[in-house]
Homo-oligomer: A and B are copies of this chain.
Amino acid sequence: MRNKCIGRRTVAFACPPRILAGETVVSKIEGEGPLGKFFDTVLEDDTWGEKTWELAERKMFEHVVRAALEKANLSPGEVDILLGGDLLNQIISANFAARELGIPFIGLYGACSTMAESLLLGAMLMDGGFASCVACAASSHFCTAERQYRMPLEMGTQAIPTAQRTVTGAGCTLLADDTLIAKAQYQAVYVTHGVIGRVVDLGVKDAANMGAAMAPAAADTFVTHLRETSQTAESYDIVVTGDLGRLGGELFQELCKKENVDVAERHVDCGNIIFAPDQNVNCGGSGCACSAVTLNGYLLKRLEAGDFRRMFFMATGALMSTTSGMQGESIPGVAHGLVIERR
């Protein structure tokens, strides 16, 4: 029975899952950025001693889950469900990490929306009575993404000004209910609502301008949520998008404004704050890890510290493949949303 829904897409948790811990790993360039000091692990070498970048990304995925568990004094055997995914074909980072972890696993593909998708599903499964503790994780790697989606790095192709840089890293959030006695990193941060994304496509075809392709989905999710819950943008202290970047972020604000929602003052895009302007990353950060490490490294800490009390967090995914692009298709976007509150 649909008794925990407000409108078509907003779900309200009867017993909001608690965020127990968040864990992050990033590469050197993210470590040198404005959020550098907030990340748990900053790698000097983006292969992390592995033979391939793919193996390094998988190691990051596995690492953040294990390290998040350590923070909460838990073992993999105490986690009921692992939910996650990544950008690589057949989500091999997540799948192979799940093999090592041995936790019952739900594999997701939501492109760069994966961090929000995994949290949304994880929270619903907990509130539904199917888990006491879930681990939600996502990863991406600049080098694996470039060679899969664009050109081999060895070619030295120049990025155009609308392009964004895939964040190298992984993030994991542990959700738990109060039946679980544990040494939590966070004491007072809860996921109270979720918003299920819808696939939206306004016809953008430029794979080097993905922020513009994803912005309509983010605006659709946020505006729909406000209407369904009879709230305004002012109901939130901060409204976060995952990796729209500079151009996409502006477009998101404009699209909201067209719907009479003025979000500009409280909107922050993870892709815009993870790198500094002088880091030569064009329109900012992207990739599953962009929102995953910004949420788990930075935003949760500020929530716990009381810098803001009520956050609307969205991660946005661009749902194209190289095949769909070559066949002339435009790029559909999706955005899943979460209300995360300090209580």
A319 and B92 contact, CB distance less than 8 A:
yes
Interface stretch, picked from A39-47, A105-113, A273-281, A292-300, is: A105-113
Q: Is A260 an interface residue (CB 8 A)?
A: no
- Measured in the bound complex, the distance between the Cα atoms of B4 and A177 in whole Å is 14
Residues on B with C-beta less than 8 A from A332 are 95-96, 98-99
In the complex, the count of this chain's copies comes to 2
The stretch that binds B, out of A126-134, A161-169, A239-247, is: A126-134
Residues on B with beta carbons closer than 8 Å to the beta carbon of A329: 96
Contact A1 B55 (CB under 8 A): no
Query: Do the beta carbons of A196 and B81 come within 8 Å of each other?
Result: yes
Contact across chains for B127 and A199 when beta carbons are under 8 A apart:
no
Query: In the assembly, what is the distance between CA of A89 and CA of B88, in Å?
Result: 8
In the docked arrangement, what's the CA distance between A197 and B98, Å? Answer: 11
Q: CB distance A132 to B323 under 8 Å?
A: no
Interface centre among A96, A107, A127, A319 (most CB of B within 10 A): A107
Which B residue's beta carbon lies closest to that of A91? B109
Interchain CB contact under 8 A, B90 and A111: yes
Chain B residue nearest to A198 (CB atoms) is: B104
Q: How far is the CA of A5 from the CA of B199 in the complex (A)?
A: 32
Answer yes or no: A15 CB below 8 A from chain B CBs. Answer: yes
Q: How far is the CB of A82 from chain B (nearest CB, A)?
A: 9
Is A229 an interface position by the 8 A CB rule?
Answer: no
Interface size of A by Cβ–Cβ distance < 8 Å?
Answer: 66
The answer to whether A334 touches B108, judged by C-beta atoms less than 8 angstroms apart, is no
Pair A129/B130 contact, Cβ less than 8 Å:
no
Q: 0/1 per residue, A7-19, Cβ < 8 Å to B? A: 0110100110000
Give the interface segment out of A117-125, A261-269, A301-309: A117-125
A231 on interface, CB distance cutoff 8 Å? no
B128 close to A124 (CB less than 8 A): yes
Q: Are B130 and A2 in contact (CB under 8 A)?
A: yes
The minimal Cβ–Cβ distance linking A122 to chain B, given in whole angstroms, is: 11
Q: Give every chain B residue within 8 A of A108 (Cβ-Cβ).
A: 106-109
With A90-B109, A95-B199, A105-B334 known, 7 other A-B pairs at CB within 8 A are A81-B196, A88-B321, A90-B111, A96-B324, A99-B319, A102-B199, A109-B109
Q: Is the CB of B3 within 8 A of A129?
A: yes
Shortest Cβ-Cβ A-B pairs, 8 listed: A128-B128, A90-B321, A104-B196, A95-B319, A4-B129, A109-B109, A99-B199, A2-B132
Chain B residues, CB < 8 A from A9: 104
1/0 per residue A79-103: CB within 8 Å of B? 0110001001111100110110011
- Known contacts A105-B197, A320-B90; A129 and B14 CB within 8 A of each other: yes
A54 at the interface (CB under 8 A from B): yes
Against B, the Cβ 8 Å flags (1 = close, 0 = not) of A302-343 are 000000000000000001111110010100101000000000
Closest to A334 in B: B105
